Amino acid sequence: MPVVLSGKGENTDLKSNLKLFRHKFCSGTVSYRIRIFILVISCISVLYLPASSQSRAPYKTIFETNLGYGFPESICLKLRVGNDLQPGLMQAFDTRGFGPTGLEIYYRFGERPRLLDRPMWYAVGGIAGYLFDVKYTKEYKALFYPRIGRSFHFSKKVGFNIDIGPGFPFGRNGDATNLISPVVLTGNMNLFFRF
């Protein structure tokens, strides 16, 4: 089934969509600040995670993928790396295609259960914005959301996360007519798989 990224309603194939995404990302359609932010988070992830491994037993990179539902994520796919400190990416999907894309960082704290290799509680900070054109009115350009949550493990590698916290929308769309609260409730429930 073809994916529409152009926002003009015509169906295009995957190759032309990738060209369109690359053109929009490199040409300045996507905010320069967002690109710099992604670069900084990527550098911190690459430089910090190997350095933090020196303080414990041999570091083992753990990838985690999550599938869940929440706000602002809708139906989302999340990818993270690490154990106690987990930087990651989030991509939301809705009935019309791609939703917001987000950068998140998780910090796990508290006592480690006897049979698990990481604490159950975590704090997460994330920022989500629209990198892809959507066919509906966007009320704001980005949302910052700090949250607190807890993991429920079925085993060491599979479990369920739930988190909740405030969200702070910014970059209000000037064409939008309905009111937006300066603080909204955000949350997420997801199933995770660790590799």
User: Over the stretch 156-182, which tens digit does the pLDDT of each residue have?
Assistant: 889 999 999 999 988 776 666 667 788
Q: Are 91 and 98 in contact (CB under 8 A)?
A: yes
Pairing of strands 184-194, 85-94: unpaired
Name which CATH class applies to 32-194. mainly beta
Count Cβ atoms below 10 Å from residue 68 Cβ, excluding itself.
20
Q: Are 127 and 103 in contact (CB under 8 A)?
A: yes
Indicate the residue type of 31: S
- Which pLDDT tens digits describe the chain residue by residue (195 residues)? 444 444 454 445 666 666 665 565 555 555 666 666 766 666 666 555 544 444 444 446 588 999 999 887 789 999 999 888 999 999 988 777 788 888 999 999 998 888 888 889 999 999 988 777 667 666 778 889 999 999 999 988 899 999 999 999 887 766 666 677 889 999 999 999 988
Encoding tokens for residue 128? Answer: 């989500």
Encoding tokens for residue 83? Answer: 């154990």
Encoding tokens for residue 39? Answer: 């670069």
The whole-model pTM stands at 0.67
| pLDDT digit string, tens, across residues 128-155 | 887 776 676 667 788 899 999 999 999 8
> Chain-centre distance of CA 70, in angstroms?
11
